[in-house]
Structure 1
């Protein structure tokens, strides 16, 4: 585990350069994708050029070089990882990302459809008299997960777990920042892989006791194009809800994929609803 990356008094990320690449934030409208029947109300977005190539290199360098193999569940997940505890980098990346997030994901409360899909009703029901639960976005957890995928590495379909160190703070969103490019296609026309792929709800369930019918259903979904890909692109951030949004890291076939994964944390508050 690497320690906090710091550059003394200098900010880890400089101010936004108006002459640099335009930052473009795009909400994924699942209702206009092959996954409309599964995820139309759900939240995901892409932020292009969140970081410059030089900033991506600095983020990678902050992780150090102590990569460890990460293998789980009969090749369910294969990649290399460095866990870095870095409050400074967590804060810097959160501050860069925050202006591009929509206001409706910054405060989650009962009665708002998007909030209920992101947080789940059980997390929104608590109250104190007339005051109701509100989860307010704080920023990235200080634990950063750096991931390196070499050819053959992958992460099969899953949902991200909500991280909750105590009952007053909880993660509801994942932010994945791609730190290097992967060529979209090779000279032979084959995809280089490494996409983050959103799948229909519950795809791949029951992997430990897989029935042949389940495998056939999954293959039919692949062949029918019932998925949505987000391609790795240097400086691109993918932000999405952790609850019930099935996704995979597709096998890397050429090159290497570098990402840093952040848990976006919320603090629990009680507030009186506005009349």
Structure 2
């Protein structure tokens, strides 16, 4: 195969127009919210087979409120130019927040059914908890994070038998806000990698978590139409196969989306 030919300015503009028309339209598959499938308060909900799940009530309402207060006090910043997403992500979030205590709280609460599903999706490694580096984000009215692929994170731990490396394979995203506090702001998935009618929207109740694969699953945080939405996000860690290091992970935007 030859090199990829970049689209012309006219083609790029049409892709952008198609993308924004798509995200402005409702999709037939919805989980949560007033018009979507009910998300139970017990048991795992599979959103995309082998790729995305909802975990009910991972944090209590009081824990969510405390985490929002903590994140706001720590400081929430807009995207920086060096990150490659300036002009794309408009939410504000923490930078360089290392919170091992939160990782130690959340990791053991991940249900066994989720661990089995995640390990089946990426065999030959075991889930080793969650990364201590967290992102707490606030979406004000109009804020969004257009189509992109999540990057993977790694962690090197010094143990009794030397250094051990862990790599994240899935994103854990926890809703910290009541649905009554904002309108819009669903997470939209495109399992085919294209903005088509396979899209699925997920609206999480407060304290529920969305778990989905990194790198290969195109998704977006749709715009908040009114109110304010807070989330917490972290990577689920896996033990890397011996002698194998993951390739560097590079931030990628979705089709029809480009930083402005």
Q: State the TM-score bracket (shorter-chain normalisation).
A: 0.5 to 0.7
**1: CA distance, partners of 2:206 / 2:214:** 23
Following superposition, the deviation at residue 172 of structure 1 comes to 0.2
Rg larger in structure: 1
1:179 aligns with 2:190: no
User: Does structure 2 conserve the Cα–Cα contact (< 8 Å) formed by 1:23 and 1:48?
Assistant: yes
Q: Mapping of 1:213-228 within 5 angstroms?
A: 218=195, 221=196, 225-228=197-200
The match for 2:76 among 67, 72, 81 is 67
**1: CA distance, partners of 2:89 / 2:117:** 33
Q: Which runs of 5+ in 2 are unaligned?
A: 1-39, 157-163, 243-260
- Equivalent residue for 1:119? none
2:225 aligns to what SS in structure 1?
Answer: coil
> Given the superposition, is the C-alpha separation of residues 262 and 100 from structure 1 closer, same or farther in structure 2, using an over 3 Å criterion?
farther
**1: CA distance, partners of 2:191 / 2:122:** 21
The match for 1:162 among 147, 152, 158 is 152
Relative to the length of structure 1, the TM-score reads 0.62
Following superposition, the deviation at residue 165 of structure 1 comes to 4.1
Question: How many pairs does the alignment contain?
Answer: 191
Q: Which runs of 5+ in 1 are unaligned?
A: 1-20, 31-39, 109-113, 117-133, 186-191, 204-217, 271-275
User: Does structure 1 conserve the Cα–Cα contact (< 8 Å) formed by 2:57 and 2:208?
Assistant: yes
The match for 1:139 among 124, 129, 136 is 129
2:58 aligns to what SS in structure 1?
Answer: coil
Q: Mapping of 1:1-20 within 5 angstroms?
A: none
Root mean square deviation of aligned Cα: 2.5
The match for 2:43 among 24, 32, 35 is 24
- Equivalent residue for 2:189? 198
- Equivalent residue for 2:203? 231
